[in-house]
Chain A
Amino acid sequence: MILLEHYLIVASLLFCLGLLGVLFRRNALIVFMSIELMLNAGNLVFVAFSRFFGRMDGQVLAFFIIALAAAEVSVGLAIIVVMFRKRGTIDINEASLMKG
């Protein structure tokens, strides 16, 4: 029997892996992907609770998160492309200087 807590455990593991990616990796693209992982952990929690309470509000919120992630990725990737053009690298340690 699969319970709500199983889903929550999967979601929390997913979130922690995403966090680890953000802290651990220095490649801006992979940091971005890790943020996606964290957003999706949130999605999973929303959907699991929506199933648990028998209400679809959680699914609507998860839908908004997906749209939000799409918007975030389109801008973020544009920033990464610009950064690569300007500096020739996408290492986020290199992006710590506020120079044009």
Chain B
Amino acid sequence: MGDPIFFYLFATIVIGGAIGVVFLSNPLSSALSLIFSLAGLAGLFVLLQAHFLAAIQVLVYAGAVMVLFIFVIMMLNLEDCKKHLKVSFASLIGFVIALNLAIVLVMHVSAPLFDDGVSDKTFGTIEGVGQLMLTRYLIPFEIVSLLLTIAIVGAVILAKKDNPKETT
């Protein structure tokens, strides 16, 4: 299972980054702490022997999704939204609900030990995951690729300027 130190290190990064996302006032700071959180998650994936997924996590999330976020933040040139951090009745309810859920989830998590003997040599490698993806999960795989195409078309059409002269 690797060294517990690494688990605690990555877990701290993940949770710390997530706290940053929620509580930092500047959207760019939020986005950056989200990147930290996602990178820490990739570290956890490595500890769980999902190497391929860890690489994909960094590649897709940190490399593409978050760049898009930061791109939009920079393009819209948003200022700090400190006033939104004020505690209102609605946000108090939000706190209570989230805290409640957290307590319930953490209290009820109980799982037996890890079975440490993963015998499969291809576990978590490109070969293993790819094999599974193109056999048992072929139809979901194709649906996801279709979904991505639809999303691209949708995004282009949405973000297009309304003026027909500019769209040519």
A27 and B27 contacting across the interface, CB-CB below 8 Å: yes
- Dominant secondary structure at the A interface: helix
The number of residues on chain A lying at the interface, defined by a beta carbon within 8 Å of a beta carbon of chain B, is: 68
The number of residues on chain B lying at the interface, defined by a beta carbon within 8 Å of a beta carbon of chain A, is: 85
| List of B residues within 8 angstroms of A63 by Cβ | 53, 56, 129, 133
B65 and A34 contacting across the interface, CB-CB below 8 Å: no
| B118 interface neighbour in A17, A20, A26, A51, Cβ under 8 Å | A51
| B44 interface neighbour in A5, A10, A60, A71, Cβ under 8 Å | A10
**Residues of chain A at the chain B interface (Cβ within 8 Å):** 1-10, 12-27, 29-30, 32-34, 36-37, 40, 43-44, 47-48, 50-52, 54, 56-57, 59-60, 62-64, 66-75, 77-82, 84, 90-91
13 interchain pairs, CB-CB under 8 A: A13-B106, A19-B101, A29-B69, A37-B21, A43-B41, A51-B50, A59-B50, A66-B57, A67-B148, A69-B60, A70-B60, A78-B158, A81-B75
**Residues of chain B at the chain A interface (Cβ within 8 Å):** 1-2, 4, 7, 11, 14-15, 18-19, 21-22, 27, 30-31, 34, 37-38, 41, 44-45, 47-50, 52-53, 56-57, 60-61, 64-65, 68-69, 72-73, 75-76, 78, 81, 84, 90-91, 93-95, 97-99, 101-102, 105-106, 109-115, 118-120, 123-124, 128-129, 132-133, 136-137, 140-141, 144-145, 147-148, 150-152, 154-156, 158-159
